[in-house]
Amino acid sequence: MKRRTFLQAPALAFGWTSAGANQGRQANPGQPVTVRPQPQVVADPYVRVAKSPNDWKEGPWIGSPSIVKTASGRLLVCHDLFGTNSTYDTAYVIGSDDQGRTWTPLAELRSMFWPSLVRCASGLYVIGVDRQYERPPNHLVIARSEDNGRRWSKPSPLTPAGMAVHTANKGALVSNGKITYSFEVCPSLFDPPPQTKTAEAVSVAEEELDERAFRISVENAGVLVAHTLVAVTAGEQKLHCRVLEADKRGNRLVLRPERWIPEKAYPASPVNSAGPWRFPPGALVKAVSGTMGNHRDLWVMAMDAPETADLCDPRVWRISNPVGNPAYTHAATLKELFGFTFRAPSKAWLEGVLVRLEHPGGSGQIVNILRTGNGIASNVAARVIVDGASEQLHCRFDRFTFDPGLGCTHCYILYDSATKLYWMASNVNRGGRPASKGTRSTEPARERTALGLFYSINCSDWFMAGLVAYSSDMVHSYQYPHFIVDGEDLLLVSRSHVESPLTEETAGGGKANAHNANGATLHCVRNFRRLANMDFIHYGAAT
């Protein structure tokens, strides 16, 4: 397998080279030596696990890699293909019996997209969706293998018909005898979308937009969730409102009318009809959002099951309530205070990773840590609590936090009981990079070229252990990581764009870019626990 050589600085924790390293190479004795610091790369040179069918020249591109080690010691990696020439409904399983040095294709799984491998007490599974969440709606599905990943059962649907599910290679949390999985849904793409009717008349003036909220009785408030964008329509009249409260028992909604006008950036965005607006009883109230790509209003959900159960049986799973994104409701305040541009239609949260807060002094709760699309900051994440203590699985919004890279792309986190630390792989935003034509230079999601490894004592305050891999250009990239602990080592797979020329054009006439990955790569961080400065992070803990 072709490997890439990275710059190494093993002697120093953060990779700064010393002046002594240049002794004997000084051209003019007595003159100061200019030392160029190098980032610390803590992983071995990568092994290319998979290659996209047309390499860097044309899609489809490799996405959603995940890794697992079976009971026999075989390593499995599963990924999908997305973009041009993709059917958005097939996953590919590759295996290695020599600790990742060489890889062999094992299986293709139809009706499986955005896959995540998981191993638990009842066996080896892959969880994903049967197809991308465009219309018609899709299902969350699961398949099982009983022969080390070579053959798989037909994917079984886990979610009800009519839902539109979004997910990623986030893995699943196996903890305290249960397996828990998080996902997002797009209510405006449900079939039918969540909707109800007004039980009384409504009147709204132009000057009340974005200013005055009103309470109204409806036939069924339980179909909607707080912070959802809805359209109230009757005849030719249409008014978009944000749901501030949904009283299921009293069947009442608190709605704030919002000013939606045509926008060049989002030509398919919601648009109000001319005001004032007067709606009679029986007016339709329906969940809506934009229709461009991923620019949609997402609800966050989760599901869990006993890990000893047959997970292909949908009856063993509990599905939680959905949670709407409060950033949309408080978009103006967040922009004023922090400069964040949370405003629908935008992918303001998605691709959450589950972790249980089991560190000493931790709450023991499961938290879903989601990446955010806020337009400016590379380190903003959202947290949703997943509470399975009662009969019903319940999700609730917790808070926004500052976690490295979560304003860029998807991360992966796990808790290591040996060190009592959380370990996270996430993209590092270096800032100041030139923007591609037609894009904003401040958009953090453009920076996917450096993948960092971090550790934390509390899953909130993160310290950098080093870089898994990085590129000095804006094309080659390492993103969407997933990893496992294998003894003393950490084995990580990445959706990567590697080994492509920077000067040649793709089949579409443009240049290769960091988003469109032409491979999946395996990175081994040997003796990863030694990277944690235990004295530093535990300083003062005993006082």
Note whether 56 and 164 are same-domain residues.
yes
Which of left, alpha, beta for 494 (phi over 0: left; psi -120 to 50: alpha)?
beta
Q: In this predicted structure, what is the pLDDT of residue 512?
A: 82
Q: Tell whether 5 is covered by a domain.
A: no
pLDDT category at 256 given cuts 50, 70, 90 is very high
Note whether 217 and 277 are same-domain residues.
yes
The arithmetic mean of pLDDT across residues 347-357, rounded, is 91
Q: Name the residue with tokens 């996902």.
A: 183
Torsion angles phi and psi, residue 335, rounded to 5 = -70, -40
The arithmetic mean of pLDDT across residues 76-85, rounded, is 95
Q: Tell whether 327 is covered by a domain.
A: yes
Q: Tell whether 14 is covered by a domain.
A: no
CB neighbours (10 Å) of residue 89?
18
Q: Tell whether 26 is covered by a domain.
A: no
CATH code: domain of residue 206? 2.40.33
Note whether 362 and 472 are same-domain residues.
yes
Note whether 182 and 201 are same-domain residues.
no
User: pLDDT tens, 305-334?
Assistant: 999 999 999 999 999 999 999 988 888 888
Q: Which of 245, 271, 287 is the last residue of a domain?
A: 287
Note whether 85 and 216 are same-domain residues.
no
DSSP tally for the chain: helices H, then strands E: 3, 33
Note whether 219 and 182 are same-domain residues.
no
**Highest mean pLDDT: which range of 13-27, 215-229, 511-525:** 215-229
Q: Name the residue with tokens 């009103």.
A: 214
Query: Per the structure block, which two tokens stand in for 404?
Result: 């490295």
Q: Which of 246, 267, 287 is the last residue of a domain?
A: 287
CB neighbours (10 Å) of residue 291?
17
The arithmetic mean of pLDDT across residues 88-97, rounded, is 97
Q: Which of 287, 318, 350 is the last residue of a domain?
A: 287
Average pLDDT, the chain: 86
Note whether 111 and 172 are same-domain residues.
yes
Note whether 264 and 312 are same-domain residues.
no
Note whether 330 and 473 are same-domain residues.
yes
Note whether 276 and 317 are same-domain residues.
no
Q: Tell whether 37 is covered by a domain.
A: no
Domain with 222 in it: 195-287
Which of left, alpha, beta for 205 (phi over 0: left; psi -120 to 50: alpha)?
beta
Note whether 156 and 233 are same-domain residues.
no
- pLDDT greater than 50 at residue 436: no
**For residue 139, what are the β-bridge partners?**
none
- Count: domains in the chain: 2
Q: In this predicted structure, what is the pLDDT of residue 22?
A: 29
Cβ(327)–Cβ(340) below 8 Å: yes
Round to whole Å and give the CA distance between 126 and 171: 9
Q: Tell whether 16 is covered by a domain.
A: no
CB neighbours (10 Å) of residue 16?
15
The arithmetic mean of pLDDT across residues 180-185, rounded, is 97
pLDDT category at 30 given cuts 50, 70, 90 is very low
Note whether 179 and 241 are same-domain residues.
no
Q: List, in order, residues 6 or more apart from 333 with CB less than 8 Å away.
A: none
User: pLDDT tens, 207-224?
Assistant: 888 888 999 999 999 999
Query: Per the structure block, which two tokens stand in for 468?
Result: 């898994």
CATH code: domain of residue 119? 2.120.10.10
Query: Per the structure block, which two tokens stand in for 103?
Result: 């890889």
Q: Tell whether 41 is covered by a domain.
A: no
Cβ(97)–Cβ(73) below 8 Å: yes
Q: Tell whether 502 is covered by a domain.
A: yes
